[in-house]
Amino acid sequence: MMNDKNYTLDTQLLNKLFIAIAIGIFTIILGIFINDRIWPNILLSAIYITGIGFAGILFVAIHYVSNSGWGAIIRRIPEAMFSTLGIGFLLMLLVIFGAHHLYEWTHLDVVAHDPILLGKQPWLNIKFFVLRIPIFFGIWYFLGRPIINHSRKQDKTGDLIHTKKGVRWSAAWLYLGGIAFVISSFDWIMSVEPHWFSTIFGLYNFAGMFNAGLAFMIIMLIYLRRNGFLTSIKDDHLYELGRYLFAFVTFWVYIWYSQHMLIWYANLPEETVYFAKRHAGAFGLLTIINILTNWLIPFLILVFRKSKRSEKTLILASVIVLIGHWIDLYIMIFPPLIGNIPEIGLLEIGTIIGIIGTVSFVVLKSLSKWNIIPTKDPYLEESLHLHT
């Protein structure tokens, strides 16, 4: 039954990934010296990479607390995604040095003459901002690490206690990690425009982040299966993940619309300013592309049963969603910083290549260290016989 061989990185792929990482690092270093537009790019990359890791451990935790059986066989992939949180943390530390270019509330002279920003100063000041970053990552990492450690220990002992402990840590992680995620998206993204606020913003970011994580997971799964590593995966497992993605792209547009409609309907100047910037001109076009790539195209692809069971259509939908998530973050972060015309140049392309290289390398490296299947998980047998 268990003829799945463990993952090993081949050198050809490794070289390609190293080139991609080198391009990313080179772009960041060069950008810091020549162009201030690198800072929003670093912020975007940090949030994107953190999101992949967050989605991975979130997926594992959801499956633990819901006692769901089908996901046991693919659990090592989201577990490996967890390790990208470290890269996200490093990039977020780098963002601190560019905070002056990103966040208006760091300009103390501006804040002093602005009653709104003055009122927000107890929360939005650089000291507290810097302090919150390790708190967020600490919650995600130190509550998430035990889940994965228990899962790996179970490979050796086969003890049921590890599953029970995993459930407990997962419950704690889901509660605190979720709160930290909402606050972190207020901190890192929403405070780029410190006058504007939206209470649903954290949930909106959550939806986009989970979409990207699921899409990445599907691509990893298909890549591993095609290369003969996870051969026990059936089309049914892809079907389940396809349904997840289908549900969450719909959830994303539901939240997008909820935010948009309430602001449009209430028509308050301090709120509409956000969409006024993003719906006019070239950014308006980008907003349409955002909805197409994050919802309409994946929705229409995945609505059919057959397309959720076929590798080709799943990869197509996943790649579109991953691109869409980047555009989504771009629309959230960039408009107040670069004006009315979106600029997508070499800096953006360089950091995108860097993101792809870093995330793929970190996840595959982490995957190669452990059994590719949790061999003694109590749910493994059920997962192998998944039938939908």
Partner 1 sequence: MEKYLVGEFDNEYDLKDAVSAIRNDGFIIEDAYTPYGVHGLDNAMGLKPSRLAKVCFGFATLGLTVALWLQYLLSAVDWPINIGGRPWNSVPAFMPIAFEVTILFAGLGTVFSFFLWRKFKIAKRNYHPSFIATDNKFFVVIYKGEQRKPMSSAIEIIHQFHGKKVEA
Decide: is 267 part of the binding site for partner 1 (CB under 8 A): yes
Decide: is 257 part of the binding site for partner 1 (CB under 8 A): yes
Decide: is 268 part of the binding site for partner 1 (CB under 8 A): no
Binds partner 1 by CB under 8 A, chosen from 113, 127, 312, 387: 387
CA atoms of 170 and 174, how far apart (whole Å): 6
CA atoms of 263 and 271, how far apart (whole Å): 6
Binds partner 1 by CB under 8 A, chosen from 162, 260, 277, 278: 260
Decide: is 3 part of the binding site for partner 1 (CB under 8 A): no
CA atoms of 367 and 59, how far apart (whole Å): 16
Per DSSP, helices labelled H in 160-310 are 161-188, 201-226, 235-266, 269-279, 281-291, 297-302
| Binding span for partner 1 by CB under 8 A among 113-121, 223-231, 262-270, 292-300 | 262-270
Q: How many of the chain's residues bind partner 1 (CB under 8 A)?
A: 10
CB-nearer residue toward partner 1: 65 or 247:
247
CA atoms of 292 and 155, how far apart (whole Å): 43
Binds partner 1 by CB under 8 A, chosen from 8, 33, 122, 265: 265
Residues 87-146 that bind partner 1 (CB under 8 A): none
Q: 82: burial class by Cβ within 10 Å (0-12, 13-18, 19+)?
A: buried
CB-nearer residue toward partner 1: 369 or 385:
385
Decide: is 26 part of the binding site for partner 1 (CB under 8 A): no
CB-nearer residue toward partner 1: 31 or 242:
242
Task: Count Cβ atoms below 10 Å from residue 216 Cβ, excluding itself.
Answer: 25
Decide: is 305 part of the binding site for partner 1 (CB under 8 A): yes
Give the DSSP letter string of 18-68: HHHHHHHHHHHHHHHHH-TTHHHHHHHHHHHHHHHHHHHHHHHHHHHHTT-
**Residues 156, 159, 160, 161, CA torsion sign:** negative
Cα dist. 307→238, 319, 378 in Å?
A: 10, 14, 31
Site string (270-289) toward partner 1, x via CB under 8 A: --------------------
User: What is the closest distance, in whole angstroms, from the C-beta atom of residue 201 to partner 1 in the complex?
Assistant: 19
Decide: is 175 part of the binding site for partner 1 (CB under 8 A): no
Please name the residue that has the structure tokens 């693919």: 74
Decide: is 269 part of the binding site for partner 1 (CB under 8 A): no
| Binding span for partner 1 by CB under 8 A among 152-160, 264-272, 333-341, 354-362 | 264-272
The binding site for partner 1 (CB under 8 A) comprises 257, 260-261, 264-265, 267, 303, 305, 385, 387
